[in-house]
Amino acid sequence: MTSTVFITGATSGFGEACARRFAEAGWSLVLTGRREERLSALCEELSKQTSVHGMALDVRDRQAMEAAIATLPPEFAKLRGLVNNAGLALGADPAPKCDLDDWDTMVDTNIKGLMYSTRLLLPHLIAYGKGATIVNLGSVAGNYPYPGSHVYGASKAFVGQFSLNLRCDLQGTGVRVTNLEPGLCESEFSLVRFGGDQARYDATYAGADPIQPQDIAETIFWILNQPAHINVNSLEIMPVTQSWAGFAVERPNKA
């Protein structure tokens, strides 16, 4: 049976690196993202290697998601993999300074978008059965608090619990679920987070030897290729240079 993987957010970063990794291994691809030009260029390039179906989609648009998935060409309809990757952080200011629209966008993308793709694609994964795998992109931000993480980190905590809960409901179907929780990784993620500010982007990664999107793609490829009787429940990955800073203590009573 052909192996097909559906990747949300394939126009940059982890999603694009995943598309390349799976194409290299001969998997068929369903690739999505909002930026049509990038998506069609990637589809055109990878279609020289494998079968590719591109769908320019905003994961927040439930109707568009329903329509696109309902009309998946039959040769792409049985899914061995779903990589729920589309997501973003907006800003890193303290909560009292945040724009509520940014919070809405993170909830709509990281939570609701992931809900839509999961629910709509479950029948396609269940049709594949044993060995089918959902990899959800959580984050260390879902496990540990840090200043400026507020809704972003909370949305990733949702991803973690949703992944575990899905496993309960998928018992008996053979479909596996993994919450992959990376730490600092160099991608357009930080350009998006900091509103295109290249200097902040550069400062985020300078000298840190961060994870690269190819590292994440290799990890996702590994997860999907584990023996079908094994479920990787969660996997947290950090660059060696990243660790924890400890608790902050306010001392208003210090003499």
Nearest distance, CB of residue 185 and ligand 8X3, angstroms: 7
Nearest distance, CB of residue 174 and ligand 8X3, angstroms: 30
210 binds ligand 8X3 (CB under 6 A): no
Nearest distance, CB of residue 155 and ligand NDP, angstroms: 8
Which token pair is 168? 């309960």
CA distance 43 to 175: 27
54 or 182, CB closer to ligand 8X3? 182
Tokens 């940059």, residue?
Answer: 12
> Which residues contact ligand NDP by CB under 6 A?
8-15, 33-35, 57-60, 85-88, 109, 113, 137, 139, 182, 184-185, 187-189, 192, 213
Please pick, from the candidates 28, 32, 117, 139, the single residue that binds ligand 8X3 as defined by CB under 6 A. Answer: 139
184 binds ligand 8X3 (CB under 6 A): yes
141 binds ligand 8X3 (CB under 6 A): yes
9 or 131, CB closer to ligand NDP? 9
What are the φ/ψ torsions at residue 88 (nearest 5 degrees)? -165, 160
Tokens 């973003």, residue?
Answer: 88
Run of H or E including 166: helix 150-169
- Of the ranges 108-116, 134-142, 207-215, 216-224, which one interacts with ligand 8X3 (CB under 6 A)? 134-142
Q: Strands across the sheet with 234-237, in order?
A: 52-56, 28-33, 4-7, 81-84, 133-137, 176-182, 234-237
Tokens 């991608």, residue?
Answer: 187
Which one of the listed residues 116, 152, 201, 205 is annotated catalytic? 152
86 binds ligand 8X3 (CB under 6 A): no
88 or 126, CB closer to ligand 8X3? 88
Q: Restricting to residues 12-71, name those near ligand 8X3 by CB under 6 A.
A: none
CA distance 226 to 221: 9
Run of H or E including 180: strand 176-182
96-115 core/surface letters (b: 16 or more CB in 10 A; e: else): eebeeebbebbbbbbbbbbe
Residue 146 annotated among the catalytic residues of the structure: no
**Could you list the active site residues?**
152
Q: Which residues of this protein are in contact with ligand 8X3, per CB under 6 A?
A: 139-141, 149, 183-184
